[in-house]
């Protein structure tokens, strides 16, 4: 049995998989920061 190496297809955007991973991490960090800001701004004062 010989296995043929099939290269991964490039992602549909950004060109390479590491760029896609970085974009996803940056997106998630942005969401976390925005939700943190919103929760601090809109939390009623005690």
CA distance 40 to 42: 6
* HEC profile of the chain: CCCCCCCCCCCCCCCCHHHHHHHHHHHHHHHHHHHHHHHHHCCCCC
- Is 1 a member of any domain? no
pLDDT of residue 23: 97
- Is 34 a member of any domain? yes
Closest CA to 27 of 38, 17, 19: 19
pLDDT of residue 19: 95
pLDDT of residue 3: 76
Give the count of domains, the chain.
1
Residue ranges making up the domain that contains 23: 15-46
- What are the average pLDDT values for consecutive 10-residue runs of the chain, which has 46 residues? 77 92 98 96 85
Three-state DSSP at 29 gives helix
**Two tokens, residue 38:** 């919103």
């Amino acid at each position: 049995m010989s296995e043929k190496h099939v290269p991964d297809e490039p992602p549909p955007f950004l060109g390479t998989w590491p760029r896609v991973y970085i974009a996803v991490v940056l997106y998630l960090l942005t969401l976390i920061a925005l939700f943190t800001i919103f929760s601090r701004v809109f939390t009623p004062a005690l």
